[in-house]
C-alpha cells in the first residue's frame, strides 16, 4: 500500500486519557486468559492475509492498530504481519504488562481511550479490536466502533464473544469472568445483537473469518 501516512505516536500517547478501570485490578491475573488465547490468536493472524485486499506481508510500513490491546498478546502476534504495530488500552497496568512482554518486538504500546483515539483519519491499514467491545456500555461501544472506522484506511478486525456458552459449567466460568471484568450486564445485552449487522451499520463490510462455539472473528472492509 502506497502513501501510508506517518503517525505521530508520541503526540497521541501524550494526550492519552488515563482512567483507573477495573482492568487495572485484574491485570496481574490476565495471564490466564492469555495462555488460553495463544493458539487462537496464532490462527487468527495466520488467516488475516487471506482476507485482505492487499498483500500485507509484502507491504512496507503497513500500520496496524490493536485497540483495547490488554496485555498485548494479539499485538505481539500482529508483528508477524508488519513491523509497525501500535497497541492501546485504557488500563495503565495492562499497558505496563504489554510493554514488558513485548521486549524487542516492533510494537509500541500506550494508554488511550478507544472512544477518542488520538490518531489522524485513515492512518492505519488494519485496526483490530479483540474482546474489547462486549463489556462496554452501548454508547461507549458505538463510539469505539466509530473510532475504529475513522482511523482505518481499509480494514478492521473484530473478535468478540457473540453467544453465551451452552454447557452450564462453561457458562458459569464465562459469567464469572465477565462479572470480574465488571461488564456482565453489557455482555448479556451484547450477545443479543447480531454482531455482523451491527458492524454493517457503522460502515463496515464484515466477512466472517472464524466461527468458534462462542466467539466470532470478522475481517471487515471499510466502505
Ligand atoms: C477482555 S480485555 C481484552 C484484551 C485483549 N484484547 C484480548 O483479546 O485478550 C478488554 C480490554 O479492553 C480495555 N478497555 C476497556 N474499555 C476501554 C476503552 N474505553 N478504551 C480502551 N481500552 C478499553 C480493558 O482495559 C481491557 O484491557
Atom of ligand 1 nearest to the CA of 144: 19
- Each residue's pLDDT tens digit, 168-181: 999 999 999 998 88
User: The domain that contains 193 carries what CATH number?
Assistant: 3.40.50.150
Establish if 3 belongs to a structural domain: no
CA of 222 to the centre of ligand 1 (A): 22
Ligand 1 cavity residues, CB under 6 Å: 21, 23, 33, 37, 68-70, 74, 89-91, 94, 113-115, 130-132, 136, 140, 181
For residue 18, is pLDDT > 50?
no
pLDDT tens string 96-124: 999 999 989 999 999 999 999 999 999 99
Whether residue 84 has pLDDT greater than 70: yes
Range of the domain at 92: 9-222
Domain contains 164: yes
Q: How many domains does the chain have?
A: 1
| For residues 23-44, average pLDDT | 92
CA 2–ligand 1 middle distance (angstroms) = 31
Mean pLDDT of 27-42: 93
Single pTM value for the model: 0.92
Q: Which of 72, 17, 74, 82 is nearest to 49 (CA)?
A: 82
Q: How far apart are CA 98 and CA 69, in angstroms?
A: 8
Distance 131 CA to ligand 1 centre (A): 7
Amino acid at each position: 500500500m502506497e502513501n501510508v501516512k506517518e503517525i505521530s505516536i508520541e503526540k497521541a500517547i501524550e494526550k492519552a486519557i488515563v482512567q483507573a478501570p477495573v482492568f487495572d485490578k485484574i491485570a496481574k491475573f490476565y495471564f490466564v486468559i492469555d495462555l488460553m488465547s495463544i493458539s487462537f490468536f496464532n490462527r487468527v493472524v495466520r488467516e488475516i492475509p487471506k482476507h485482505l485486499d492487499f498483500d500485507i506481508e509484502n507491504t512496507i510500513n503497513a500500520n496496524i492498530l490493536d485497540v483495547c490491546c490488554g496485555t498485548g498478546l494479539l499485538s505481539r502476534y500482529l508483528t508477524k504481519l508488519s513491523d509497525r504495530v501500535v497497541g492501546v488500552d485504557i488500563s495503565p497496568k495492562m499497558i505496563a504488562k504489554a510493554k514488558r512482554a513485548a521486549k524487542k518486538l516492533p510494537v509500541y504500546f500506550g494508554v488511550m481511550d478507544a472512544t477518542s483515539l488520538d490518531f489522524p483519519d485513515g492512518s492505519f491499514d488494519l485496526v483490530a479490536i479483540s474482546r474489547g467491545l462486549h463489556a462496554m456500555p452501548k454508547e461507549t461501544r458505538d463510539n469505539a466502533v466509530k473510532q475504529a472506522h475513522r482511523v482505518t484506511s481499509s480494514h478492521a478486525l473484530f473478535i468478540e464473544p457473540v453467544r453465551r456458552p451452552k454447557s452450564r459449567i462453561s457458562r458459569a466460568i464465562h459469567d464469572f469472568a465477565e462479572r470480574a471484568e465488571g461488564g456482565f450486564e453489557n455482555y448479556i445485552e451484547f450477545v443479543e445483537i447480531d454482531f455482523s449487522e451491527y458492524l454493517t451499520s457503522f460502515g463496515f463490510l464484515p466477512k466472517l473469518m472464524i466461527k468458534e462455539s462462542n466467539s466470532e472473528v470478522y475481517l471487515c472492509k471499510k466502505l
